[in-house]
Amino acid sequence: MINYVKTILEKVSFSKYLFERELKKGLKLILPSELEEFRHWCYEMFGKLHLSILNRHFAPAT
């Protein structure tokens, strides 16, 4: 499922609205064991473009 969510986010990254909507949906599909890997990937791929959205939906890493 994580690869599916990554693919969708890559395709909608041009739009802040679509990106946030799909990120919310994707977070419900990601397994707890995959969450840290997914969070890291999101910041790596979209940190410059959608940092405020990512910060809203991911709790700070401890």
In a domain, 14, yes or no: yes
The pLDDT value given to residue 34: 94
Give the helix ranges, DSSP H, for 1-62.
2-12, 16-29, 35-46, 51-57
In a domain, 18, yes or no: yes
Looking at the structure of the chain, the number of domains it has is 1
The pLDDT value given to residue 61: 54
In a domain, 16, yes or no: yes
In a domain, 61, yes or no: no
The residue ranges of the chain whose pLDDT is under 70 are: 60-62
The pLDDT value given to residue 60: 66
Reference 56, options 45, 44, 43; nearest CA is 43
Query: pTM of the predicted model, to two decimals?
Result: 0.88
Q: How many CB atoms lie within 10 A of CB 19?
A: 22
